[in-house]
Amino acid sequence: MNRRQPTTVLQWLRIYRLYQSAFPNNEKKPFSMIRSMYKKRKSDVWYFEEDGIFAGLVITINGPDKVLLDYLAVSKNHRGKGFGSGILRQMREQYDGKGVFLEIETVREDADNYEERKRRKQFYLSNGMAELKVYVELFGVEMELLGYDCILTFEEYHDFYRDNYNAWAAEHVKRANNRDTENV
Protein backbone atom coordinates (compact mmCIF):
# COMPACT_ATOMS: atom_id res chain seq x y z
CA MET A 1 0.00 0.00 0.00
CA ASN A 2 1.33 3.41 -0.98
CA ARG A 3 0.96 6.55 1.12
CA ARG A 4 1.39 10.12 0.03
CA GLN A 5 -0.01 13.56 0.61
CA PRO A 6 -2.66 14.51 -1.95
CA THR A 7 -1.46 16.64 -4.86
CA THR A 8 -4.29 16.53 -7.37
CA VAL A 9 -7.88 17.75 -7.35
CA LEU A 10 -9.03 14.15 -7.92
CA GLN A 11 -7.14 12.90 -4.86
CA TRP A 12 -8.64 15.68 -2.72
CA LEU A 13 -12.09 14.85 -4.09
CA ARG A 14 -11.69 11.18 -3.18
CA ILE A 15 -10.56 12.13 0.32
CA TYR A 16 -13.51 14.52 0.68
CA ARG A 17 -16.06 11.93 -0.45
CA LEU A 18 -14.74 9.23 1.88
CA TYR A 19 -14.55 11.73 4.74
CA GLN A 20 -18.18 12.77 4.18
CA SER A 21 -19.46 9.19 4.02
CA ALA A 22 -17.34 7.57 6.75
CA PHE A 23 -17.95 9.81 9.75
CA PRO A 24 -21.10 10.92 11.58
CA ASN A 25 -22.04 14.57 11.10
CA ASN A 26 -21.56 15.35 14.80
CA GLU A 27 -17.91 14.23 14.55
CA LYS A 28 -16.92 16.05 11.34
CA LYS A 29 -15.16 19.36 11.05
CA PRO A 30 -15.89 21.57 8.06
CA PHE A 31 -13.61 20.24 5.31
CA SER A 32 -12.44 23.79 4.62
CA MET A 33 -10.98 23.80 8.16
CA ILE A 34 -9.07 20.60 7.43
CA ARG A 35 -7.67 22.10 4.22
CA SER A 36 -6.73 25.30 6.04
CA MET A 37 -4.89 23.44 8.80
CA TYR A 38 -3.08 21.37 6.18
CA LYS A 39 -1.98 24.51 4.32
CA LYS A 40 -0.73 26.00 7.60
CA ARG A 41 1.20 22.75 8.28
CA LYS A 42 -0.71 22.12 11.50
CA SER A 43 -1.94 18.80 10.14
CA ASP A 44 -1.15 16.11 7.63
CA VAL A 45 -3.56 14.58 5.15
CA TRP A 46 -2.56 11.15 3.87
CA TYR A 47 -3.89 9.47 0.73
CA PHE A 48 -3.52 5.68 0.62
CA GLU A 49 -3.80 3.57 -2.51
CA GLU A 50 -3.30 -0.02 -3.53
CA ASP A 51 -2.45 -0.85 -7.15
CA GLY A 52 -3.40 2.72 -8.14
CA ILE A 53 -6.84 2.51 -6.48
CA PHE A 54 -7.78 4.82 -3.59
CA ALA A 55 -7.91 2.76 -0.38
CA GLY A 56 -8.14 5.19 2.54
CA LEU A 57 -7.25 8.37 4.33
CA VAL A 58 -5.71 9.68 7.51
CA ILE A 59 -5.99 13.24 8.77
CA THR A 60 -3.81 14.27 11.71
CA ILE A 61 -3.32 17.22 14.00
CA ASN A 62 0.38 17.58 14.78
CA GLY A 63 2.01 18.80 17.95
CA PRO A 64 5.71 18.98 18.74
CA ASP A 65 5.77 15.64 20.57
CA LYS A 66 2.30 14.15 19.97
CA VAL A 67 0.09 13.48 16.96
CA LEU A 68 -3.68 13.09 17.00
CA LEU A 69 -4.96 10.66 14.37
CA ASP A 70 -8.04 12.80 13.92
CA TYR A 71 -9.65 10.74 11.14
CA LEU A 72 -8.86 7.34 9.67
CA ALA A 73 -11.10 5.72 7.07
CA VAL A 74 -10.81 2.84 4.64
CA SER A 75 -12.83 2.82 1.42
CA LYS A 76 -15.72 0.33 1.30
CA ASN A 77 -14.00 -1.89 -1.29
CA HIS A 78 -10.91 -2.25 0.91
CA ARG A 79 -12.55 -2.92 4.29
CA GLY A 80 -12.01 -6.24 6.01
CA LYS A 81 -8.81 -6.93 4.05
CA GLY A 82 -6.17 -5.65 6.48
CA PHE A 83 -5.86 -2.17 5.00
CA GLY A 84 -6.79 -0.45 8.28
CA SER A 85 -4.06 -2.37 10.10
CA GLY A 86 -1.61 -1.48 7.33
CA ILE A 87 -2.52 2.19 7.58
CA LEU A 88 -1.96 2.14 11.34
CA ARG A 89 1.45 0.48 10.90
CA GLN A 90 2.46 3.17 8.42
CA MET A 91 1.26 5.94 10.72
CA ARG A 92 3.18 4.49 13.64
CA GLU A 93 6.32 4.45 11.47
CA GLN A 94 5.65 7.93 10.06
CA TYR A 95 5.40 9.47 13.52
CA ASP A 96 8.04 7.31 15.23
CA GLY A 97 9.38 9.12 18.29
CA LYS A 98 6.10 10.94 18.92
CA GLY A 99 3.15 9.84 20.99
CA VAL A 100 0.28 8.95 18.67
CA PHE A 101 -3.28 8.99 19.94
CA LEU A 102 -6.86 9.02 18.74
CA GLU A 103 -10.40 9.47 19.99
CA ILE A 104 -13.13 6.85 19.68
CA GLU A 105 -16.72 6.92 20.84
CA THR A 106 -16.90 5.46 24.32
CA VAL A 107 -18.09 1.85 24.28
CA ARG A 108 -21.43 1.96 26.09
CA GLU A 109 -23.99 -0.82 26.09
CA ASP A 110 -26.84 1.69 25.80
CA ALA A 111 -25.43 3.22 22.60
CA ASP A 112 -27.38 2.70 19.36
CA ASN A 113 -24.19 1.48 17.68
CA TYR A 114 -22.78 -0.51 20.60
CA GLU A 115 -21.49 -3.42 18.47
CA GLU A 116 -19.79 -1.05 16.03
CA ARG A 117 -18.11 0.84 18.89
CA LYS A 118 -16.97 -2.43 20.45
CA ARG A 119 -15.51 -3.66 17.11
CA ARG A 120 -13.76 -0.33 16.52
CA LYS A 121 -12.11 -0.35 19.94
CA GLN A 122 -11.06 -3.99 19.55
CA PHE A 123 -9.55 -3.17 16.14
CA TYR A 124 -7.33 -0.44 17.62
CA LEU A 125 -6.36 -2.51 20.66
CA SER A 126 -5.48 -5.51 18.46
CA ASN A 127 -3.25 -3.19 16.44
CA GLY A 128 -1.14 -2.26 19.46
CA MET A 129 -2.90 0.79 20.81
CA ALA A 130 -3.48 1.04 24.54
CA GLU A 131 -6.28 2.57 26.58
CA LEU A 132 -5.07 5.90 27.93
CA LYS A 133 -7.83 5.97 30.59
CA VAL A 134 -8.83 9.49 29.53
CA TYR A 135 -12.51 10.10 28.79
CA VAL A 136 -13.68 13.35 27.31
CA GLU A 137 -16.72 15.06 25.97
CA LEU A 138 -15.69 16.55 22.64
CA PHE A 139 -18.28 18.85 21.10
CA GLY A 140 -20.92 16.95 23.06
CA VAL A 141 -19.76 13.45 22.06
CA GLU A 142 -18.33 11.19 24.77
CA MET A 143 -14.97 9.85 23.63
CA GLU A 144 -12.18 7.66 24.97
CA LEU A 145 -8.51 8.12 24.09
CA LEU A 146 -6.28 5.31 22.82
CA GLY A 147 -2.64 5.59 21.80
CA TYR A 148 0.81 4.29 20.90
CA ASP A 149 3.85 5.34 22.89
CA CYS A 150 1.72 7.95 24.58
CA ILE A 151 0.86 8.99 28.10
CA LEU A 152 -1.72 11.73 28.25
CA THR A 153 -3.73 13.36 31.03
CA PHE A 154 -6.96 15.23 30.47
CA GLU A 155 -5.12 18.52 31.01
CA GLU A 156 -2.46 17.62 28.43
CA TYR A 157 -5.18 16.61 25.97
CA HIS A 158 -7.00 19.89 26.50
CA ASP A 159 -3.74 21.83 26.07
CA PHE A 160 -3.00 19.86 22.88
CA TYR A 161 -6.25 21.17 21.38
CA ARG A 162 -5.53 24.72 22.54
CA ASP A 163 -1.93 24.76 21.34
CA ASN A 164 -2.18 22.77 18.10
CA TYR A 165 -5.72 23.38 16.95
CA ASN A 166 -7.23 26.53 18.42
CA ALA A 167 -8.67 28.06 21.59
CA TRP A 168 -12.23 27.79 20.28
CA ALA A 169 -11.92 24.00 19.86
CA ALA A 170 -10.29 23.69 23.29
CA GLU A 171 -13.39 25.34 24.81
CA HIS A 172 -15.40 22.34 23.53
CA VAL A 173 -13.17 19.76 25.25
CA LYS A 174 -14.70 18.77 28.56
CA ARG A 175 -14.01 16.09 31.10
CA ALA A 176 -16.51 13.27 30.64
CA ASN A 177 -18.99 12.89 33.50
CA ASN A 178 -19.24 9.77 35.62
CA ARG A 179 -15.89 8.31 34.59
CA ASP A 180 -13.45 6.68 36.95
CA THR A 181 -10.13 7.53 35.32
CA GLU A 182 -6.54 7.09 36.39
CA ASN A 183 -5.08 10.08 34.55
CA VAL A 184 -7.60 12.75 35.40
Pairwise CA distance, residues 27 & 41, whole Å: 22
Inter-residue contact 75 to 122 (CB < 8 Å): no
Residue 179 has pLDDT above 70, yes or no: no
Cα dihedral sign, 138-33-60-105:
positive
- Of 47, 62, 50, 60, nearest to 12 (Cα)? 47
Pairing of strands 130-138, 141-148: antiparallel
Distance separating alpha carbons of residues 103 and 20, to the nearest angstrom: 18
Options 3.90.110.10, 3.40.630.30, 3.30.590.20, 3.40.1050.10; which CATH number does 2-175 get? 3.40.630.30
Q: pLDDT value at position 26?
A: 82
Euclidean distance between CA atoms 113 and 118, whole angstroms: 9
Question: What tens digit of pLDDT does each residue of 93-110 get?
Answer: 999 999 999 999 889 888
pLDDT confidence of 45, banded at 50, 70, 90? Answer: very high
What does DSSP assign to residue 178? T
Tell me the C-alpha distance between 6 and 13, whole Å.
10
Check pLDDT > 90 for residue 111: no
Torsion (CA) 57, 62, 65, 71 in degrees, nearest 10: -40
* pLDDT at site 113: 87
- Whether the per-residue pLDDT at 76 is higher than 50: the answer is yes
48-57, 67-76, 79-88, 134-143: least confidently modelled range: 134-143
